[in-house]
Amino acid sequence: MSEVLTYITEHAVQWGAVILLMLGLYIVMTRGNLIKKVIGLNIFQTAVFLLYISIGYVLDGAAPIVLEGAERYSNPLPHVLILTAIVVSVATTSLALALIVRIQEAYGSIEEDEILEHGET
């Protein structure tokens, strides 16, 4: 039992990321409301950001700027990568929201079942 516990606590960040990942994916798949789908997508992407940021952590590592007396530094590269990914995620979200506005104008609803109901024309 204790082995399982240590396994989980040692990989706490990864477990957190996986749980968020699954939550996000579940929301995207099950919710009919388009805004909620976008929120789910955001949670899904954020989980990946967390995973990436955790890669950059080095045990006892200082912030990656030149410091007096620091011997080890955290790896800044994953953080920089994630800055890019965050920008992508913002762009995706804004485009999704713009599309939702257009769907609302065209169908008068953002609920998937209602769109499908009178949507075949």
Residues forming the site for other proteins (CB under 8 A): 25, 28, 34, 37, 41, 44-45, 48, 51-52, 55, 77-78, 81, 84-85, 88, 91-92, 95-96, 99-100, 102-103, 106-107, 115, 119
| Smallest separation (angstroms) from other proteins to the CB of 14 | 10
CA distance 22 to 110: 24
| Smallest separation (angstroms) from other proteins to the CB of 1 | 23
For 48: left if phi > 0, alpha if psi spans -120 to 50, otherwise beta; the answer is alpha
CA distance 75 to 61: 8
| Smallest separation (angstroms) from other proteins to the CB of 120 | 8
Name the residue with tokens 């590592």: 61
Q: For residue 45, how many other CB atoms are within 10 A of its CB?
A: 19
Task: Give the residue with the Cβ less far from other proteins, 58 or 69.
Answer: 58
